[in-house]
Amino acid sequence: MNILLLSATLLGGVLLSAQSSINGVFGQKAGALESTFLTFFTGMLFLALAVLFFGQGDVLLLLDAPRWQLSAVLFGVSYLFLTILAVPKIGVTAASIATVVGQLSAGMVIDHFGAFGGVEVTFDLKRFIGLLFMLAALFFIYRGNKRRVEATDADSIAS
């Protein structure tokens, strides 16, 4: 079962990269806010149908949730909007690795303090080294993208 969940999550990452690329291009034409709106509005329609036909809970319980828990919605919208802005300028790979570095950094702080009701996982040297490797990956990927864009720009100016 864990292999199946891991595979599903891997597929989700593939779909997320494809979405970032498509939304980045679309956002340049239609606007970043408009692209973000279309993504969330369409997602809402599909999820409304899924809840209607397959939902097992009580949608009205959302109204009983503490307000701070509802703030997660703003985080998702912000992530998508910022990705739509970033991808056309730095590429899908750099945007994705930056997202992962941000998730890992925040996740380590959240885990260390057991924030939001989570389990406490102490920040240690191994986690710090892992984060350093991710930062190094981000640096090299970003630099590689930047050099390639600069070379492409120089070639188009020379022609």
Question: Which pLDDT tens digit goes with each residue over 139-149?
Answer: 999 888 877 76
Confidence of residue 159 (pLDDT cuts 50, 70, 90): low
What domain range includes position 71?
A: 2-158
pLDDT above 70: residue 127: yes
Predicted local confidence at residue 92, as pLDDT: 92
| Percentage, residues of the chain above pLDDT 70 | 94
Structural domain total, the chain = 1
Eight-class DSSP state of 159: -
Confidence of residue 43 (pLDDT cuts 50, 70, 90): very high
- The Cα 21–Cα 105 span in angstroms is 24
Q: What is the pTM of this model?
A: 0.79
Mean pLDDT of 128-156: 84
Tell me the backbone φ, ψ of residue 64, rounded to 5 degrees. -90, -5
Per-residue tokens: 64: 């009983």
Report helix, strand or coil for 23. Answer: helix
